[in-house]
Structures are given as C-alpha cells and as structure tokens.
Structure 1
Amino acid sequence: MNMIKEAPQDDLIYPVIVFDKTASASQKALFVGDSFYFNWQSDGIMHDAFADCNFWYYNKQVWNRSGVEIGTVDQLNFGDEIARADIIAIMITERFHQNFAWNFDEQLFDYFYNESQNPIDYFANRVRINNEHFLRMYADALSKNMPLPDRIEKEAEFLLYEDYQLAPQKYQQDETAMIPILMMSIRQSPEWLEKVREKAVAQNIPLNEMIRMDATWIYENQIKKK
C-alpha cells in the first residue's frame, strides 16, 4: 500500500503461556466445537494441559491431543467417551450460535435422562448431574468411608424404589428394575430381612447375595408369570 507517511502502530498483546513441567497433567478432556479450538491446539495448550484430550470438530470429526484426525464421532461409543472425560467443554464462536453444540447437547440430554436405559444408571446419572445432591452423596461417602460410586449406586436404588412406589406399573415387566426394587423391599422390612438373614447364615452365603437370590426367585415365580 502506498502511503504518504507511515501509519501509527500500537503494540500488540499476545499471551505468553508457560507450563510447569514438574507437574504431570492428570485430567482427561473432551471439547466439542468449531475451528477456534485449533488456535489452542497450535499453541500446544491441549498437549500440555491434559493427560488426554479429544476434539469433536462440529460433533463429527474426532481429533486427538496431538492434532491428528483419527475418525468420526459416529464410530465411537458415546457413553464410554462421556464417562472417561473429567472435563467436557462446548466452545462456539459467535457466528455459530444458531447451530448451538451441533446436537451434542441433545445427545447428552438423551444419555443422562433416557429412562429406557438401565434404571439404576438412570437414577445414578440424576444424582451426578444435580450438584447439591452429588455433593451430599460425596460428603456421606466420606463420613462412612465408602467409595463414592457405591454410595451413588445405593442412592440410585433408593430413588428407583421411591419411583416404584409412585408408579409400579412402569417397572413390573422390567427385570433389571424389579430385582433391585425387590431387594430394597426386603431390606426395608425388618421381619422379612431377618428371615433372609437366617437363610444366609444357614447356607453360609453373604447376606446381600441371599437377598438377591430371594428377590430373583420372587420376580421369576410371582411377578414375571402374571
């Protein structure tokens, strides 16, 4: 460009990114977004910040932490990919707001709220996505020195049992739901539980296994045959 005099120039500001190499990254991340992600990729942020990081470009192509395209999203097991990620981020530049998340948000909703999935998984997901409920389970697990997944599973069983009390017809033909419900029914009845405990001792079987055996027998012989 021909100019009479040189145009004024302001100082340009660029970030200087420094990583503490003495600390190894431990978090696994999943990003769903548009090409703005590649700015971070080019700066090496993803490689240094995360133990593993996949990018779902427009929720279609899959790029790994090293910036290599490795396949398509429809080739993956959606639930497995969600479960293995410690951090999930949706990033969208302004011009794509109308395409929000490229259906990823709907996929997440169907995954966490789909009542056709295993009912224990369904109610466990309800606990995990409710921050207050999750923190309550976390505190309770700590106080009881219990693994958090075990505490969440017990809460899911209780929520399933509660829902069964409100709408039993939803579950009566679903074995994956009815066995935990019947097990909860046994535990909630002191007299019934004591009889099962006596059988467990007599047969030298762990109590929980005996409860499951009785619940399965009831389902097979009294509910399923109706």
Structure 2
Amino acid sequence: MLGWQLINRKAIAVSLGLLMLMVATNVEAGVFGWLKRTEIQWSPEIRGVLFNHGEPVTNREVKRRLYYEGKERYDSVTTDANGHFYFPRKTLKVRRVLFDVSVALELYVVDSPNAGDEDIIFDVSFLNDLNYQSLDLVASDIRCELTAEAKVDELKNLEIPGDSAPNIRSKCTFAHANIALYSDEEIEQQRLELERIIDNQEGF
C-alpha cells in the first residue's frame, strides 16, 4: 500500500507541475508577448514626380525622413530628367508595447525655395505603424508642385471602413485619390452626421 501511495503522490505532483507549467506558459505568452519584436511598415514604396510651375524639376535631391519614437533615418534620391523620384518600402523591427507611439514619414526637397532650404512636400504621421492600403495607393503615384500651397487630405481606412487613419499634409496630388482619400463632399457628410448625433444626444 505504501508503494501505491508514493506512486499516487508522485503522479499528483507531476500533474500539478505540468498544470503550473501550462499556466505559466500562457501567462508568459500574454504578458511577455508584448516584449517580442514585430515588423512594422515605416514607409510604403514611393513613386513621385516633382514640378515647379508645371515643369519637371530635374537633378534635384529629394530627402526622406523616417521617425519612430526617438529613432530617425534619412535617405535621399535625385530626380531624373523627367522629374521622377523613387523610394523603396522600408520596414522596422520594434518591440510591441502596451501604449501608442509616434511614427512619421516626411519628404523634403533640398535647396527649395532657396539654396540651403529644405521644403517639405509630403508629411504623414500616426500611431504605431503606417501600414495602410490607402497610404500604399497614395504613395504609388504622387505629383508634387513646389509652388502649391500645402493642403491636408484624410486617408480612408480601407481595411476597417469607418475606422481612423492618418491625415496627409502635402503639396501633392494623387492618382488614386478617389479610392484612398475622403472627398470634400464625404467629409461634409461626416460633419453633418456628427452634428445630427450630437443634437439627438442633447435632446434627451
């Protein structure tokens, strides 16, 4: 009998040990999973054309600045004979965190409007990453005019319609604006709908 009691105790101890190991593994995965590195999109692929008064700007340096919560990276290209410039997609491996962080992508034109100046022509920033299909579409075909006034465009969230997405401040127009950006009419409809909701809430 004593032998069987020892075997039962060992079996219980082993079972408890396995149970505690499973619980600890699940807790570790839930808590420490945030500390694992994950890859984010830092910049989509960018294809653009640079103009000045409608004429292509040739042999001009265009600089890209990427920012992620204290990390910065710069690279640059030179426009070709037709004013075209290109930047490849960039990703960054970061540790997942429980709070939001700031991510930014900016394009500057060097020596504009004067020698030694840097004129920002495209600027987008948001939280955690810039992995949006609408941003990919916008960046795939942009036309930037140095003499234009900077304007703000609102990206659509094509992955989750109606959810938030970054705004773009730029001197550019976009070939896929009808798909990727909210039109003035759509923004006005959103404003009116929000006013209607507020009015209804105040009526209670």
TM-score class normalised by the smaller sequence: under 0.3
Greater relative CO, 1 or 2 (CA 8 Å, sep 6+): 2
Q: Greater share of strand residues, 1 or 2?
A: 2
Q: TM-score, normalised by structure 2?
A: 0.25
TM-score for the superposition, normalised by structure 1:
0.23
